[in-house]
Amino acid sequence: MSERDQLREHEFDGIQEFDNRLPNWWLWTLYGAIVFAVGYWLSYHTWQLTPLPGDAYAAEMAAAAEAQLARMGDQELTNESLNLMAQVPTRTEAGRKIFEQFCVQCHRADASGDVGPNLTDKYWLHGSAPLEIHHTVTYGVPDKGMVSWLNQLGPSRIQDVVSYVLTLKGGNVPGKAPQGYDAEGNPAPGWSPDA
């Protein structure tokens, strides 16, 4: 028996193993994978020298949305343009600050609803389409206590806050009971328009 064919002393279920050294190419592949993993961890997670793939994708999508909005220029607002604004972090961040300043009194900081409705569920009193939300914020609903924000915020800031509200849709934060209708026109369970 050669030196390469030495049996190990232990036995398991009647099986003995040879004590063979792994080939160099296999060992260098293992060591290379370990070095790569450590470098990847340090670069992406510890020192954050390079954005993670998901973050890079989000940045590309935001840049594409901004470019599309720039091409649309001064065109009339559409559901598409408002949805594009909701993908631009600078717009939604500006909208979040406006929301925290003016809207939390009625909708709470987490938008779960207080005097005003919950903005995170799928039911909306005055329409869930982006243009319908924009109309509600712009002109208000005086008979329900929602004031018009047109004179206080102006068109650009209203677009920012609407873009932020669009990011809240579907979050389903527990809070005020659902009110209004879903996108298909079905009323919220237990809610009546006369209530």
One domain for residues 154 and 93: yes
pTM over 0.75: no
Residue in the structure block whose two tokens are 């509600």: 136
Q: Is 173 domain-assigned?
A: no
One domain for residues 19 and 60: no
One domain for residues 16 and 106: no
Cβ(169)–Cβ(106) below 8 Å: no
Model confidence at 161: pLDDT above 60: yes
60-69, 104-113, 151-160: which range is least confident on average? 60-69
d(CA 85, CA 92): 7
One domain for residues 71 and 28: no
Residue 127's CATH number = 1.10.760.10
pLDDT, residue 183, reads: 87
What are the tens digits of pLDDT across the range 67-114?
Answer: 887 777 778 889 998 998 999 999 999 999 999 999 999 999 999 999
d(CA 138, CA 167): 18
One domain for residues 42 and 57: no
Cβ(149)–Cβ(101) below 8 Å: no
5-14, 35-44, 99-108, 173-182: which range is least confident on average? 5-14
Model confidence at 60: pLDDT above 80: yes
Per the DSSP assignment, residues forming a β-bridge with 187 are: 181
What are the tens digits of pLDDT across the range 32-53?
Answer: 999 999 999 999 999 999 899 9
Q: How many domains does the chain have?
A: 2
Model confidence at 166: pLDDT above 80: yes
Confidence class for position 157, pLDDT limits 50, 70, 90: very high
Q: What range defines the domain where residue 88 resides?
A: 53-168
One domain for residues 23 and 57: no
Q: Is 141 domain-assigned?
A: yes
Q: Is 37 domain-assigned?
A: yes
Q: Is 42 domain-assigned?
A: yes
Q: Is 129 domain-assigned?
A: yes
